[in-house]
Amino acid sequence: MDLINQLVSTLGVSGQQAEGGTGLLMKLVKDNLSGTDFGRVLGAEPKLEGMMSQAPESGGDSLLGMAGGLLSSLGSDKLAGLTQIAGGMQKLGLDKDTLVQFIPVILQYFQKQGQGDIAGLIQKALPF
């Protein structure tokens, strides 16, 4: 079963929500990993790059986007990233509780593929 189908069946989200939410999380992973490590993540699942490009913009003029910018300027980059992702998830019609539920499903997907090292990189890059 591929990652999107796993998210849909486990969390009860739509395919679009699964792709968009995964894309948003991978943008945060990209921001918090070195280029080399993120390249390893993309190499393990090439579809992630397309999901990232399909993900809704998460900042913008919204209050969440402004809060993310403020937190980033104060040096709280990971917290700022979470705030920005929450804005993107809201655009997808997902709440913060669902956002958190994506993570173990994604990690388990990579572990089942025999890519525990990739799951470890993703987990390291996410602030929660």
Q: Give the pLDDT confidence of 99-121 residue by residue, as tens digits.
A: 889 999 999 999 999 999 999 99
Task: Say how far apart CA 99 and CA 49 lie, in whole Å.
Answer: 19
Task: Say how far apart CA 77 and CA 111 lie, in whole Å.
Answer: 27
**pLDDT at residue 68 in the model:** 45
| Residue 6 burial class via C-beta count within 10 angstroms: exposed 0-12, middle 13-18, buried 19 and up | middle
Cβ–Cβ < 8 Å for 71, 83: yes
Instruction: Flag whether pLDDT at 65 surpasses 70.
Output: no
Cβ–Cβ < 8 Å for 11, 102: yes
**pLDDT at residue 77 in the model:** 52
Task: Say how far apart CA 24 and CA 92 lie, in whole Å.
Answer: 10
Q: Show the CA angle centred on residue 42, arms to residues 53 and 54, nearest 5°.
A: 15
Question: What percent of the chain is predicted at pLDDT more than 70?
Answer: 78
- On whether the pTM is more than 0.85, the answer is no
**pLDDT at residue 119 in the model:** 97
**pLDDT at residue 66 in the model:** 43
Q: What is the mean pLDDT of residues 54-60?
A: 75
